[in-house]
Structure 1
Amino acid sequence: MSTNTPLKLLIFGGTGVLGNAIAEKFKLNGYKVTYGVRTLTNANDQFQLPITDGPVPLLLKGELFDTVVFAQGANNNDSVSNHSSDDLNRLFEANVSFISQTTQALLRHNLIKQRGKIVILSSFWEQITRQEKMSYTVTKAAVGGLVRSMAVDLGNAKRILVNGLLPGVVDSPMARGLLKPAQIENVQSQTPGHKMIVPQDVANAAYLLGCEDNTAISGQSLFVDYGFTIARVL
């Protein structure tokens, strides 16, 4: 990195498995990383959410971020026949409204630079679905619309590039705890290359869209799944 002033990443959900991998990828490439969190554990690089129209947290004063990553979110298993409105609204707030409201606050406080980048972590369930995944699928589908709308509006306003990432099933302790061995085997058998993605794959894709080398990609929702979504095993 040739610049004397480090590039700056603001990340939400940066303490989770995927968010942490993304933050570390940007750090390795010279970015200064700031975390928006619900519970503070390190005041040196974290501030407490939410960001509102009021005074910004001290850590954000005078900052101008090159990249903003939204890696937060909520999950749930339900169907149209057994879901609750409370759960659907809770997921919509966590997966959609939080992003739009936080972005609005960041813009009002002028915290995203001209020609900055926004990367939103969604899921391949944004464009496909499975049984017992209604509320999650609905809210992730809304994220796709949010990405496209933000890409147009923020592109016109500040030439900001906005993109979404759609990871497949990530090989992680959480996934292996939630899925049965037969389900893991099914995913692997239907994936070209017969393996699941790992957090580093998601981090690499986030960096691809969020770094300075991205000069024109915007409004896209990019699958990160070894081609699982488009593969059909006959």
Structure 2
Amino acid sequence: MQDEIATYPSLAGRSVLVTGGGSGIGAEIVRQFARQGSKVAFIDIDRDASTALVDEITAAGRLAAFHECDLKDIGALRRTVAGIEQEQGAVTILINNAANDERHDMFEVTPEYWDERYAVNLRHQFFAAQAVAPGMKAAGGGAIVNMGSISWMVGQGGMPAYTSAKAAILGLTRSLARDLGPDNIRSVCVVPGWIMTQRQIDKWLTPEAEADLMKSQCLKRKLTPLDVARTVLFYASEEARGCTGQAYIVDAGWR
């Protein structure tokens, strides 16, 4: 139930940026930061889904701002971040959520496809953090939450460019924690298991796959985007002020 979600006073009024916030896990994260009273902006390339999300949040009496941007274009990303900070102040919470887990056969991967997958799943996380870090420092600190994936931890095949990019996010998280810690900027990695977004349900959830998942998970229920959003809220808040440089897994005990 929505009213069972914790309220974090430290999130009220905070300037928040969510990448890939138009659908799936990202959209739920945007909803929940708006519910906390944060000033939340999100980046996405899907205009229709993003506009619908803004309309939904507005109808609930809350606020969220959509900024269209292709995160593969780092120049555009930097300009978008600058625009967001001009509108709502220095971003002090960054949620690096945007990703795409399209499957691919290792023998069909070209150098160009490999680079494109890394641009979609890894590169923008660093450059978004680089863009917001000066403002966070000036504000006295902040939090960066990088979204990882359980896929490489459980040895999932069929998408080596994706799994290797997601594995690298833990290294990036620890590096950012060390480099930015002296400025009171925390960096953590939230690692979702198999989360039942509409995309996952439409593309890959079969009765056989669900049965296998239930055998593997300790908790015998399907996880939803809200399960991840709850965790993200906590680690973005001051309740987690002592947490940095680590990965926090939300997988119902799969791994």
1:46 to 45, 66, 69: 66
User: Partners in 2 of 1:55 and 1:166 — Cα distance?
Assistant: 24
Q: Please state how far the C-alpha of 1:170 moved relative to its aligned partner.
A: 1.0
Q: For this pair of structures, how many residues does the alignment match?
A: 225
1:32 aligns with 2:58: no
> Aligned letter for 1:85?
P
Q: Please tell me the root mean square deviation across aligned C-alpha atoms, in Å.
A: 2.5
1:183 aligns with 2:190: no
Q: Please state how far the C-alpha of 1:60 moved relative to its aligned partner.
A: 2.2
- What SS does structure 2 have at the residue aligned with 1:124? coil
Query: Which residue of the partner structure matches residue 150 of structure 1?
Result: 176
User: Partners in 2 of 1:178 and 1:64 — Cα distance?
Assistant: 38
User: Partners in 2 of 1:74 and 1:171 — Cα distance?
Assistant: 15
User: Partners in 1 of 2:68 and 2:136 — Cα distance?
Assistant: 16
Q: Please state how far the C-alpha of 1:79 moved relative to its aligned partner.
A: 4.0
Query: Which residue of the partner structure matches residue 232 of structure 1?
Result: none
User: Partners in 1 of 2:219 and 2:38 — Cα distance?
Assistant: 32
User: Partners in 1 of 2:200 and 2:151 — Cα distance?
Assistant: 15
- What SS does structure 2 have at the residue aligned with 1:194? coil
- Maintained 8 Å contact 1:79/1:131: no
Alpha-carbon distance change, 186 to 129 in structure 1, aligned in 2, over 3 angstroms: same
> Aligned letter for 2:200?
A
> Aligned letter for 2:65?
D
| Equivalent residue runs for 1:1-234 within 5 Å | 6-38=13-45, 41=51, 45-49=65-69, 50-52=76-78, 56-57=82-83, 59-61=84-86, 63-108=89-134, 110=135, 113-156=139-182, 158-179=183-204, 180-229=206-255
TM (normalized to structure 1)?
0.86
Q: Which runs of 4+ in 1 moved over 4 A?
A: 39-42
User: Partners in 1 of 2:32 and 2:168 — Cα distance?
Assistant: 27
- Maintained 8 Å contact 2:177/2:186: yes
User: Partners in 2 of 1:72 and 1:135 — Cα distance?
Assistant: 15
- Maintained 8 Å contact 1:65/1:111: yes
User: Partners in 2 of 1:216 and 1:87 — Cα distance?
Assistant: 39
User: Partners in 1 of 2:241 and 2:121 — Cα distance?
Assistant: 27
- Superimposed CA distance per residue, residues 176-234 of structure 1 (whole angstroms, 9 cap, x where no aligned partner): 222232011110122112222111000001011111211110011111011111xxxxx
> Aligned letter for 1:177?
D
User: Partners in 2 of 1:121 and 1:210 — Cα distance?
Assistant: 12
> Aligned letter for 1:37?
D
- Maintained 8 Å contact 2:85/2:91: no
- Maintained 8 Å contact 1:63/1:111: no
Query: Which residue of the partner structure matches residue 59 of structure 2?
Result: none
Alpha-carbon distance change, 202 to 64 in structure 1, aligned in 2, over 3 angstroms: same
Alpha-carbon distance change, 30 to 186 in structure 1, aligned in 2, over 3 angstroms: same
> Aligned letter for 1:12?
T
User: Partners in 1 of 2:78 and 2:201 — Cα distance?
Assistant: 37
- Maintained 8 Å contact 2:92/2:132: no
- What SS does structure 2 have at the residue aligned with 1:47? strand
User: Partners in 2 of 1:164 and 1:2 — Cα distance?
Assistant: 22
Q: Please state how far the C-alpha of 1:52 moved relative to its aligned partner.
A: 2.7
User: Partners in 2 of 1:200 and 1:140 — Cα distance?
Assistant: 21
Deviates more, 1:87-96 or 1:99-108: 99-108
Query: Which residue of the partner structure matches residue 73 of structure 2?
Result: none
- Superimposed CA distance per residue, residues 153-194 of structure 1 (whole angstroms, 9 cap, x where no aligned partner): 1113x2111111111111232222222320111101221122
Query: Which residue of the partner structure matches residue 4 of structure 2?
Result: none
Q: Which runs of 5+ in 1 are unaligned?
A: 230-234
